[in-house]
Every structure is written in C-alpha cells, then in structure tokens.
Structure 1
Amino acid sequence: MPSTMFRTSFKFLVLLLSICNIAVAQAEVLDALVPRQSPSAAAAASPICQNYARVANLSTVGLNSTYRAAFLRSSNLGTFDARAILDVESPKLMGMMMDVQLNQQCGNLSQIAMDGAAANLTAGTVLGLPIADAPGIAVDAVAMPIVQVSIFLIFCGTWLSL
C-alpha cells in the first residue's frame, strides 16, 4: 500500500512541476516579445521608418551585383522596369544612413536589410521572389563541346583566310 501512495504522490509532484515549468516558460516568452530589431512598436509602424526600410531593402539589392542579378533575372517586370525600381532608391540610402535622428527613431534598418538580403539569398529568394535559374547552356551539357568546336573552327577559318 505505501508504494501505491508513493506513486500517486510522485505523479502529483511531477504534474505540479510540469505545470509550473510551462507557466514559467510562458512568462519568459511573453517578456521576450518585443518589436523585432526596433526601438518601439510605434516607431516601426511610422511611415518614415517604413520608407527607410523600403529604401534600405531596395538599395541593398540594387547596390550588390549578386542580389541585383538575381532580382533582374527573377522579376516578371522585365529588365528595364526592374532596374528602374532599384536605381531610383539607391541614391537615397546614404542620406538616410547618416541621419542620426532617423537611426535613433527606427534603428539601423540598413544593417537589418543587409543581413536579411544575405539570409534570403541563402534561402533562394530575393525581395520576396524565388530566384529563377539563369538561361543558357549548362557547362556539363552535350551541346557545350559542339559550340566550342564550332567557334574554334570559325575563328581558325577566319584567321587562315587572311
């Protein structure tokens, strides 16, 4: 009989500790929830901070050749329209980066944009678009040696005819 009572008490103790553990973990999560990388929720929702975030994201992609090529290749707007979107915002970034009041109000959104662009490129996206494969002939394709030999013959034929 004492072993049954011990088991019941032990089960009750384990149940009580698990409930307390869940309550403590939930309290820690609620205290840790703050607006992501932003000084305050009101500042993150302000139009000036949203504009800074948009300029930082587009400029980060526009000023880095790898991100830019991936965006131009993946955009369904066409090369010229997609390029225009990136080129309009890029000159605005330096002024926003050097504005002390803007960075105090919104945080360093240019650094956040750089980190986010790197993470997105690793995940296979750029500015929310999945990165499309580059058009062309693959290096290990059967057509590659044929193209190389034909180019060699054309150039040699041209040189020999001189």
Structure 2
Amino acid sequence: MSRTPFQLLVFLLSICSIVVAEVDVTHDLLPRQSPSANDVNSPICKNYAVVANLSTIALNSTYRAAFLRSSPLGTFPAREILDVQAPKLAAMMMDTQLNRRCGNLSQAAIDGAAANLTAGTVLGLPILDAPGIDPANVAMPIVGIAIFLMFGGTWLAL
C-alpha cells in the first residue's frame, strides 16, 4: 500500500488531535472572579437578579413606558409584573451578605437597562413605537376640528 504525503499528514494530525484531547486541563483552570463565583448561579442570586432587573424597569419612567408599550401581555398584566418586584429591591440592596455573595446586581441591572435601551430593547423585547397620530401629521388638525365641531355642535344644539 502506497501512501501519499497528504494521507500521512492527515494521519499525523489525527494522532496529534487525540493526544491534545486527552490532556486534562481542569486542574489548570482558575476561577475568573472570587472564590464565591459559583454562588452567582445559586437560586437566591438568580432571584436577586430578577428583582433588580424588573425593579430597575419599574422605577424608571422611560424604561417602564417602553416595557408597557412593548409587552405582548398587555398593559395591566405587564404593570403587575413590575409592581410586585419593585418593593423587594430596597431590602435586597441593603443586605450586605447577599451583596457580598452575589455582587452588586442592582448596579449591574441599571447599567444593563441603559445599554439595552440604547440598543432598542427593554427586558429582551424590541421597543415598539407609540400608537397614535404623530402631532406633526396633517391628520392631526383635521381630527381636532372634527372633534370640536361634533362636541361644539352638540352643545349649541341643546
């Protein structure tokens, strides 16, 4: 059996890939943050992150309006989601053990909300345009005059 140089090269590379795959590098990996880096994935930290994100949206009128306008649930269910979480944030921000364990997730939520609003999203939803007529539109004075005539005419007819 004659082998071509290309087949030998592929054979050598396959042997090298097996050798590289068997190297155990888990002992060489170090945590990127603090020794409590794994605590961020705990349920209490995830709850703190959810409360911080929803409260940041609930307590800022610009973020809140964008979320209520863009939510597929409708205004009242979306408002209820925000209003339930907002009172919980103050206690979580003042809990030193929670902040030491999870980090300052409220500041991360504030920074993330600002970045998302700049990118055109709020809580993962694309921000929709406000419904209604643009005040600079030609139809706006026509609609205003029609409303004035209907209500004014009714008043004058009495």
Instruction: Give the TM-score normalised by the residue count of structure 2.
Output: 0.71
Change (3 A) 1:123 1:159: same
Partner of 2:88: 92
Q: Which amino acid aligns with 1:78?
A: G
Change (3 A) 1:132 1:39: farther
Q: Is the 8 A contact 1:71 1:127 kept in 2?
A: yes
Q: Once the 2 structures are TM-superposed, how far is the Cα of residue 145 of structure 1 from its aligned partner?
A: 1.7
- SS of the residue corresponding to residue 134 of structure 1 reads coil
Q: Once the 2 structures are TM-superposed, how far is the Cα of residue 43 of structure 1 from its aligned partner?
A: 1.8
Select the structure that is richer in helix: 1
Deviates more, 1:141-150 or 1:80-89: 141-150
Q: How many residues align?
A: 129
Q: Which among 32, 35, 38 is matched to residue 34 of structure 1? A: 32
Q: Once the 2 structures are TM-superposed, how far is the Cα of residue 157 of structure 1 from its aligned partner?
A: 5.3
Deviations 1:31-81 (A, max 9, x none): 9x935xx87421211111111000000011011111111111111111111
Q: Once the 2 structures are TM-superposed, how far is the Cα of residue 152 of structure 1 from its aligned partner?
A: 4.5
Q: Within 2, Cα distance between the matches of 1:139 and 1:104?
A: 50
Q: Which among 141, 144, 154 is matched to residue 145 of structure 1? A: 141
Q: Which amino acid aligns with 1:80?
A: F
Q: Within 1, Cα distance between the matches of 2:154 and 2:35?
A: 67
Instruction: Give the TM-score normalised by the residue count of structure 1.
Output: 0.70
Q: Within 2, Cα distance between the matches of 1:86 and 1:80?
A: 10
- SS of the residue corresponding to residue 87 of structure 2 reads helix
Identity between Structure 1 and Structure 2 (%): 73
Stretches of structure 2 lacking an aligned partner (at least 5 in a row): 1-28
Q: Within 2, Cα distance between the matches of 1:102 and 1:152?
A: 59
Partner of 2:59: 63
